[in-house]
C-alpha cells in the first residue's frame, strides 16, 4: 500500500515507517513564534527548565502589531527581545526593515523547505506546505513544551486529496478557488486531515498562489496542507535554504485517502466569503453592489508581490472611492513593489501604504472598522469583530476583486475592471 505525504514526512522525522492514526514523537525542524512568543516565554519559565533545547531551531518574527500600537504590544516585543538574548536564539526578525508577516518571512528567508516538519504558534503555519513542508500551527503551551524538550507528539493525520486541473480565466485567481472550495467542504471539511493539492492546475500555479491555498488550510480544519515540491520550488530554495535536512517528499500514486475532490480551475469564477464565516461563500454575482467602507490588500494570504501586481493592474490610472490600505507582506515585497513602480500606482489611486506586518487583519491597528462599516479584504478570516468592531462586516476576496471594489466603493466583479 502506498504512502501519503503526511505518512512519509512524519515517518522520515520519526526515523521509522508510520501509518495514519499512529501516534509518533518527532523533533520539529523549526519552531516559529511571533509577538505571542512573550506569553509563551512566560509559560516556558513556569516549566522550570533553564534553557531551550535547540535555540537554533527557534525563529521569532515580530509582525502582529508593529511598530507597537499600545503599551501592551510594546511589552510583548520587549519580552521577546529579552528572551531571544537570554536564550541565544539566532533567528530573530525585530521591528526593522528586514521583517514582515511571519509566514512570508519563513518562506522567503529559506526556512520553509521540502520534507521538513515545521511548527508555529500561529494557525496559518500551514502556509509552508507550498514548499512541500509538513507544517502546522500548535498552541502556546505546546510550543513552550517544544522549546523545553525539542519534541512533540503527533497523531499521523489521515489525508484528503484535492485534484486540481486546468487554468484560471482572466480576473480569477487562487483566492477565488480556495474560497469556493471552503464553501463546498465547509469549515470542518478537513478536520485534522493532511490536505494534498495535486494536479496540473497546481503545477501551473506560482509558489505565491500555492501559499494562498495552503495558508487557508486551517480555515477548513486541515492539520496541514501541502503541494508537491516541484522544480519551481527547488529553484526557489536554491539561493537561501536555511537547513540541509530537506528532501522532496510526495505521496505515492496508490496512497489511501479519506476523501477526494476534483476541480477544474476553468470553472472557477470570482467569489467572496460573506460575513461572518470563511465558509459563507457567494459568487460575485450574488454580492455585487454591496457598499463597502474600506478595502484591505495584504496579509499572509495575499500580500505578496504577485498579489500587489494583480491589484495594481486594476488600480492603474483609477481612483479609489473608499479608504484602501495596502500592506506588503514583507520589506522584501515592499522594496520590490517600490522598484516596480507599484507604489506610484497605489498612491496615485489614493491608497494608503503601511509598513509590512499583519496590519488590520486581526484588528490590531492600521484600519479598524467602525460599527456598521463593511470591509473587503484579501486576508483569511472574517469572524465577527475580527477587524475591531463586533458590529462591522468583512468580505474576503482576491486582490483583483478587492482592487475593483475599492474603485467603485461597492463589491465589484474584477472581470469588468480588466
Ligand atoms: C495571533 C495568532 C495566534 C493568530 C493565529 O493563530 O492565527 C493570528 O495570526 C490569526 O490570524 O488569527
Ligand atoms: S496576517 Fe493575519 S492571518 Fe496572517 S498571521 Fe497575521 S494576523 Fe494571522
Give the Cα separation of 214 and 268 in Å (integer): 18
Ligand 2: centre distance to CA 315 (Å): 24
Ligand nearest to the CA of 380: 2
Q: DSSP letter string over 159-185?
A: EEEEEEES-PPTT--HHHHHHHHHHHH
What ipTM does this complex have? 0.99
Strand (E) or helix (H) holding 372: none
Alpha carbon of 299 to ligand 2 centroid (Å): 6
Is residue 178 within 8 A of residue 216, CB to CB? The reply is yes
Q: What is the pLDDT of residues 14-28, one digit of tens each?
A: 999 999 999 999 999
Task: List the domains of the chain with CATH numbers.
Answer: 5-243+258-263 (3.30.499.10), 272-416 (3.30.499.10)
State residue 403's pLDDT score: 99
Residue 167, pLDDT > 90, answer yes
Residues above pLDDT 90, as percent of the chain: 100
The answer, yes or no, to whether any atom of ligand 2 lies below 6 A from the CB of 124, is: yes
Q: Which 3 state secondary structure label does DSSP give 323?
A: strand
Q: Is the pLDDT of residue 114 over 90?
A: yes
Q: Each residue of 260-310: pLDDT tens digit?
A: 999 999 999 999 999 999 999 999 999 999 999 999 999 999 999 999 999
Q: Cell digits for 220? A: 477548513
Pocket test for ligand 1, best of 102, 218, 362, 384 (most atoms within 8 A of CB): 362
> What pLDDT was estimated at residue 1?
85
Q: What is the pLDDT of residue 35?
A: 98
Q: What is the pTM of this model?
A: 0.98
Ligand nearest to the CA of 328: 2
Contacts of 152 (CB under 8 A, 6+ apart): 25, 26, 27, 28, 119, 138, 142, 145, 146
Segment 355-409, tens digit of pLDDT: 999 999 999 999 999 999 999 999 999 999 999 999 999 999 999 999 999 999 9
Mean pLDDT of 127-131: 99
pLDDT of residue 99 exceeding 90, the answer is yes
Mean pLDDT value across the chain: 98
Q: What percent of the chain has pLDDT over 70?
A: 100
- Testing ligand 2's pocket by substitution, the residue of 35, 37, 106, 122 carrying the most ligand atoms inside 8 A of its CB is 122
- Report the pLDDT value the prediction gives residue 140, as an integer from 0 to 100: 98
Amino acid at each position: 500500500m502506498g504512502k501519503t505525504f503526511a505518512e512519509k514526512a512524519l515517518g522520515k522525522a520519526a526515523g521509522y515507517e508510520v501509518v495514519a492514526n499512529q501516534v509518533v514523537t518527532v523533533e520539529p525542524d523549526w519552531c516559529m513564534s511571533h509577538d505571542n512568543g512573550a506569553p509563551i516565554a512566560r509559560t516556558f519559565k513556569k516549566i522550570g527548565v533553564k534553557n531551550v533545547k535547540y535555540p537554533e531551531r527557534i525563529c521569532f518574527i515580530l509582525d502582529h502589531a508593529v511598530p507597537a500600537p499600545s503599551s501592551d504590544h510594546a511589552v510583548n516585543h520587549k519580552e521577546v527581545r529579552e528572551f531571544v538574548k537570554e536564550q541565544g536564539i539566532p533567528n530573530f526578525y525585530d521591528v526593522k526593515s528586514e521583517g514582515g508577516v511571519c509566514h512570508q518571512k519563513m518562506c522567503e528567508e529559506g526556512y520553509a523547505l521540502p520534507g521538513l516538519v515545521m511548527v508555529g504558534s500561529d494557525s496559518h503555519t500551514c502556509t509552508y506546505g507550498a514548499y512541500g513542508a509538513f507544517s502546522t500551527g500548535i498552541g502556546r503551551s505546546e510550543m513552550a513544551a517544544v522549546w523545553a524538550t525539542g519534541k512533540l507528539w503527533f497523531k499521523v493525520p489521515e489525508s484528503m486529496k484535492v485534484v486540481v486541473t486546468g487554468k484560471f480565466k482572466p480576473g480569477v485567481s487562487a483566492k477565488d478557488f480556495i474560497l469556493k472550495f471552503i464553501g463546498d467542504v465547509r469549515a470542518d471539511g478537513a478536520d485534522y486531515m493532511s490536505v494534498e493539492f495535486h494536479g496540473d492546475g497546481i503545477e501551473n500555479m506560482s509558489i505565491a498562489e500555492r501559499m494562498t491555498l495552503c495558508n487557508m488550510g486551517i480555515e477548513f480544519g486541515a492539520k496541514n496542507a501541502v503541494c508537491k515540491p516541484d522544480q519551481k520550488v527547488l529553484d526557489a530554495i536554491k539561493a537561501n535554504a536555511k537547513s540541509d535536512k530537506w528532501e522532496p517528499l510526495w505521496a505515492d500514486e496508490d496512497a489511501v485517502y479519506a476523501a477526494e475532490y476534483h476541480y477544474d480551475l476553468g470553472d472557477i469564477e470570482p467569489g467572496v466569503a460573506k460575513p461572518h464565516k470563511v465558509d459563507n461563500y457567494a459568487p460575485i454575482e450574488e454580492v455585487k453592489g454591496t457598499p463597502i467602507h474600506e478595502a484591505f490588500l495584504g496579509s499572509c494570504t495575499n500580500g505578496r508581490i504577485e498579489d500587489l501586481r494583480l491589484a495594481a493592474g486594476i488600480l492603474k490610472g483609477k481612483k479609489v472611492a473608499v479608504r484602501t490600505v495596502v500592506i506588503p507582506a514583507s520589506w522584501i515585497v515592499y522594496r520590490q513593489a517600490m522598484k516596480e513602480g507599484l507604489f506610484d500606482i497605489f498612491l496615485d489611486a489614493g491608497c494608503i501604504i503601511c509598513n509590512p506586518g499583519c496590519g488590520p487583519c486581526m484588528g490590531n491597528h492600521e484600519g479598524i472598522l467602525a460599527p456598521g462599516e463593511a470591509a473587503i479584504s484579501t486576508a483569511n478570516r472574517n469572524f465577527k469583530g475580527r477587524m475591531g468592531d463586533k458590529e462591522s462586516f468583512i468580505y474576503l476576496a482576491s486582490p483583483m476583486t478587492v482592487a475593483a471594489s475599492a474603485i467603485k466603493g461597492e463589491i465589484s466583479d474584477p472581470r469588468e475592471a480588466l
